[in-house]
Amino acid sequence: MASGERPLNEVNFLTVAEVAAVMRVSKMTVYRLVHSGEMPAIRVGRSFRVPEQAVHD
């Protein structure tokens, strides 16, 4: 594990809607950031989850 990384069981994940609310942008903007690679995310079924720390960074 690289320095600064936390085990997955300690990482809080947010939905796209939650990320949009925190960043005060539209959900479409969050999807663009995820698809462009500017914001890390994992795919869970058909939806994305974004690590909470990535939103704050």
pLDDT of residue 8: 72
pLDDT in tens, 1-53: 455 667 777 889 999 999 999 999 999 999 999 999 999 999 999 999 999 99
* Sheet strands (E) in 1-57: 13-15, 42-44, 47-51
pLDDT of residue 10: 81
Domain parsing of the chain, residue ranges: 11-56
Distance CA 11, CA 40 (A): 13
Q: In what order do the strands lie in the sheet with 42-44?
A: 13-15, 47-51, 42-44
CA nearest 13: which of 55, 1, 57?
55
pTM: 0.81
